[in-house]
Structure 1
Amino acid sequence: MYCKRCGELLSSDVNFCPSCGAPKESYESESLVPIERSENEELSLFVGKKADVYHRKWGKATNKAGWNWAAFFLGIFWLGYRKMYRFLLIFLGIYLLVDLITWPFYLFLDPVTMDKVSPLIDLLNYVIGIASSVTLGIYGNYFYYKHAKEKINNIKQKFPNHPDIQAYEITKRGGTSWGTFFILLAAAILYAIVIVGIIIFITFQDTEYPGETSSVNENSSIADDFSQNSSIDNWGGSAGDSETSIQTIDEVLQDYMKENKLALTAEDVQYDMENNLDEDFAIAGTAKLDTYYNYGFADASKENFSVSINPVDGGEPWNLYFDRKDFADLYTELKNQGEVDLVATGIIPSEIYDPAQGNMAFAEQVTWDSNE
């Protein structure tokens, strides 16, 4: 037995409703005649305040569809607000499936390949987003009508001879839910924070990414000089090195500059940078992978990896940015060995130069000898 005022289930041993306090009534002793409400009246109870708006929308379209701007712009938030939880789970499932399919590409593909795949993934996400918005814009009213009718029919079947309870349950099951709306909003914000965090993490890991491929532009005759004349003892440039060792390093650097027709060294450029922009220069020293990207080179991490070089002449360190594709072998060597001794050709493009940048340049050519 149910309370006629609020619909609370009543036990046989109570005289008053524990929920609303109304006196218990014996339905067995009453002749209950069901009240037949019209469809519009039932829908009005279910929709609530905006019932007249939805009656107009449903009345204009033969299939109860028509355009719904709120559903188009708010999407799943509108579904949650209107308590359409089944449709909400369907759309969330579609979004989650797309993410499960696409995110492994971000996590496991190397940056070079990802540059090619990323536009396709962005296009897929864009198409899914637009398609879902348009679908809800066109069919949102129809979905809401079907949802309302299903709920109303279930309630009428459950309480066939209790019109007051039917009205209470229809009103309770219908209406809106700001709580669901804000829960979805908070979840969306949290999800966005997680995604941004993953993207930042991947970005900072670019210089440590294992999947680099391609070839390096290497000068064979200078590489032979390294293998014959270089070692960790005579290529470090430390204070304890002998004069003969320093001369050997100078010879290697001079041979490299002569063969590549270079007139400037890193030291020359460092002290007169503005007058040596767009000019090739040679640098020799001990190199290791770095994560420094700044000034005009701030966006270079996607296509270039950063290498910190301590010059053999004891000058200030340089950061050279090597193309990931062309110098993949050097990247692998640096990652495996930690440090290598190299001679490279650098250049500072005038279009990205910043007077405050310090010793930063793009690499054009390199040869090296590993510290083993």
Structure 2
Amino acid sequence: MEVIMYCYNCGTLIYEDDKFCVKCGSPKEARHEVNIPPTAILRSSRHTNSPQNEPMSDDYSGDLELFVGPQADVYARKWKQGSRWNWPAFLFGGYWMLYRGMYLYLLIYLISEALILNIVGSLFPRFSFSAAMVIVMLLTNLVIKIGLTVVANTIYLHHARRKINAIQERYRNDTETADAKIVLAGETSLYIPIALAVLPILIAFVYGLYSFLHMYNQINQDFPLK
């Protein structure tokens, strides 16, 4: 099948026989009847021979918009304005990094968080547990989360550019393949964050069920029914 365009909504490749975008479901035929976001126009037009449509290394268009996807306008505005606050990062912490596929940064964040919490915890007497310790640990965790929040936009931009540069280096003579790979590299996924969020609940449920059955067996052994 021949590639005829990129989806005006998410930048995914659309083929001649497709009536809808396979990723976001936007109709191909009705693309001129809807409000077209400016980021999508840049995605579809960057393959023309016009010099003004070439991606600019100092701007937040072209490849970065392909990578970020539907939220490209939001992040481009944050980067241009130098915004330091990222609500998803503050509310969801490491889950936001998982959603954005930032696994290396998540690992660094978790290691740093563990080290800081251990250092703060070592300030208290060993095996002691008090309200003061709980408050200090909670405040420390809050400070760590705020620290992540204020650098989230910067590390996401660094992550995007690192991925884009690697793909462009590999497919420097194949623009269409490079663009498709950039879109795939920037895809977000809720499955991993949801799975990791549900996992502790499942573990707690299994452990509670095991404890209940163990206690039930102990009671039957101690007080057998006659």
Q: TM-score when scaled to structure 1?
A: 0.36
Q: Deviations over 1:218-244 (max 9, x none)?
A: xxxxxxxxxxxxxxxxxxxxxxxxxxx
Separation in structure 2 between the aligned mates of residue 70 and residue 125 of structure 1, nearest angstrom: 22
State the Cα distance separating 1:98 from its structure 2 match: 6.2
Higher relative contact order (CA 8 A, sep 6+): 2
Distance in 2 (CA, whole Å) between partners of 1:37 and 1:44 is 10
CA distance in 2, matches of 1:85, 1:53: 22
The yes-or-no answer on 1:163 pairing with 2:184 is no
CA contact (8 A) 1:60 1:66 kept: no
40, 55, 78: which is aligned to 2:96?
A: 78
For 1:143, the equivalent position in structure 2 comes to 155
The gaps in structure 2 that reach 5 residues or longer are 4-14, 16-48, 212-226
Query: Secondary structure of 1:140's partner?
Result: helix
Q: Are 2:190 and 1:172 aligned?
A: no
Q: 1:98 to 1:139 in 2, by over 3 A?
A: closer
Counterpart among 65, 71, 78 of residue 44 in structure 1 = 65
Q: Which consecutive unaligned segments of at least 5 residues does structure 1 have?
A: 6-19, 21-32, 201-372
Q: What percent identity do the matched residue pairs reach?
A: 32
Aligned to 2:139: 127
Give the greater-gyration-radius structure (CA): 1
**Alpha-carbon displacement from aligned partner over 1:213-270 (angstroms, at most 9, x marks no partner):** xxxxxxxxxxxxxxxxxxxxxxxxxxxxxxxxxxxxxxxxxxxxxxxxxxxxxxxxxx
Structure with the largest fraction of strand: 1
**Residue 99 (structure 1) shift:** 7.0
CA pair 93-188 structure 1, distance change in 2 beyond 3 A: farther
1:368 aligns to what?
A: none
Check conservation: 1:66, 1:141, Cα contact below 8 A: yes
Match of 1:263 in 2: none
- Over 3 Å counting, the alpha-carbon distance change for 1:93 and 1:124 in structure 2 is farther
Give the superposed CA RMSD.
3.5
Label 1:189 to 1:118 Cα distance change in 2 as closer, same or farther (>3 A): farther
Deviation of 1:190 (Å): 5.3
SS of match in other structure, 1:168: helix
SS in 1 for 2:108: helix
1:160, CA displacement in angstroms?
1.1
Segments ≥4 residues shifted beyond 6 Å: 98-101
Worse-superposed segment, 160-169 or 178-187? 178-187
> Using a 3 Å threshold, how does the CA distance of structure 1 residues 66 and 96 change in structure 2: closer, same or farther?
closer
Which among 58, 67, 85 is matched to residue 79 of structure 2? 58
CA contact (8 A) 1:80 1:184 kept: no
| Aligned ranges 1:201-212 → 2 under 5 Å | none
Instruction: Tell me if the contact between 2:117 and 2:141 (Cα under 8 Å) persists in the aligned partners.
Output: no
* Secondary structure class of the residue paired with 2:62: helix
Deviation at 1:168, TM superposition (A): 0.7
Residues 118/190 of structure 1: CA separation in 2 closer, same or farther (3 Å cut): farther
Q: Which has the higher helix share?
A: 2
